[in-house]
Amino acid sequence: MTETQAPTPTPAASSGDASPGAGVARKLSTLDRYLAVWILLAMAAGLGLGRAIPGLNSVLSKVEVGGISLPIAFGLLVMMYPVLAKVRYDKLDTVTGDRRLMVSSLVINWLVGPAVMFALAWIFLPDLPEYRTGLIIVGLARCIAMVIIWNDLACGDREAAAVLVALNSVFQVIAFGLLGWLYLDLLPGWLGLGEGQHLDISMGKIALNVVIFLGVPLVAGFLTRRIGERRMGQEAYERKFLPRIGPFALYGLLFTIVILFALQGKTITSQPLDVVRIALPLLVYFAVMWFGTFALGKAIGLAYDRSATLAFTAAGNNFELAIAVAIATFGVTSGQALSGVVGPLIEVPVLIALVYVSLAWRRRFSSPAVHGGIPPAR
């Protein structure tokens, strides 16, 4: 939503101490108030389960269809559905008409992002070709799922996020294989960096990934709003129904994190030094992409909410696609697959920290009426 629109009521905002002088943090539910803590605990729980229960990762990895993990798919669908049910689809034309936003997103996601990851992978991992290739694959997989929840937590423009994620999805189907050939096969030879590697992934598999992780929750969210508004009216739909389903976005996020880290808990904890080597370029990547893109948004005159949306869609990556491609092409025990796994290990805590940074900037530069505490998914 734009800055001129009133935020959708949430359970946290409508419960607890409603006195005018009460701080926002006191009004938040326990889940919302300690979200960062729950995320860290979910990561620790996933790593602990993967390490403590022999064969758990093998069992979870076998529960898949077409190379897509069903437990992760379930968690992402539960996470994305409430947010997409909140999108005001009748307002999407105000986003598509913003050429600054649309062009900036395409350039950053499909020209700048892959190039930045390619450069960082070679700078930080010149002696580790498997990990380097895995990082480049992560950079090619632009985010189409979890970015929606980060954007919502940061009070970004919900409608803009839906449009930019859909745009990324289209380009992902078309451009992923081409960019893989460019950065893994063609450029290394041209630059004298050594022999390239072929990326084996079909457009059909990428399209299936897009349909599962974006198409299904998008259609469900759109139909929910259409039917809900017809039966209840817009005011009742947003005031009564949305607060009931809102918390499930965070439940889905926590479930996804537990499953994701349980899948690779043993691998990550048994190779700590390798994880550190892979983590360093990822940390630089997320910082460069998020801060650089946010600054660009402000420089071209975008309001806070759209600058935040632009930044989160630029910094996030489709870890599920990156891991699936790495495993399908190089094997489940490959260094490329480990790089894909370390991606969300670093991305989750970094982006939740950037949510807090984003909200701090919002309070400082946008609206003096907004005070402390991370808001719930609106």
pLDDT, tens digit (0-9, with 9 covering 90-100), for 1-21: 333 343 443 333 333 333 333
Fold entry, domain 24-365: Na+/H+ antiporter like fold (1.20.1530)
**Amino acid present at 166:** A
345-350-353 Cα angle (round to 5): 140
Report the SS3 class of residue 10. Answer: coil
Which of 116-125, 200-209, 241-250 tops mean pLDDT?
116-125
pLDDT in tens, 293-326: 999 999 999 999 999 999 999 998 887 778 777 7
What does R_g of the chain's alpha carbons equal in angstroms? 20
Instruction: Provide mean pLDDT across the span 37-47.
Output: 84
Q: Name beta bridge partners: 68.
A: 65
- Residue of 6 and 186 predicted with greater confidence: 186
Which amino acid, one-letter code, is at 27? Answer: K
In whole numbers, what is the pLDDT of the chain averaged over residues? Answer: 79
Name the pTM for this structure: 0.75
Q: Residue 362 carries which side chain, given as an amino acid letter?
A: R
- pLDDT tens column, 15-38: 333 333 344 445 456 666 677 788
Number of residues that make up the chain: 378
Q: How far is CA 55 from the centre of its chain?
A: 28
Contact assessment for residue 61 and residue 263, using Cβ atoms and an 8 Å cutoff: yes
The pLDDT of residue 29 is 60
pLDDT at residue 279, rounded to an integer = 92
Mean pLDDT lowest for which of 24-38, 184-198, 339-353, 354-368?
A: 24-38
Mean pLDDT of 151-176: 87
More confident site: 19 or 157: 157
Instruction: Tell which residue, 312, 328, 104, 95, has the closest CA to residue 208.
Output: 328
Give the residue from 297, 271, 288 showing the smallest Cα distance to 131: 271
Pick 207 or 281 by higher pLDDT: 281
More confident call, 89 vs 7: 89
Q: What is the DSSP string of 337-349?
A: HHHHHHHHHHHHH
Beta carbons of 253 and 36 less than 8 angstroms apart = no
Other beta carbons within 10 Å of 52: 11
User: What's the pLDDT score for residue 263?
Assistant: 73
Among 117-121, 214-218, 223-227, name the one with the lowest average pLDDT.
Answer: 214-218
Q: What SS3 class is residue 144?
A: coil
Domain ranges of the chain: 24-365
pLDDT at 197: 66
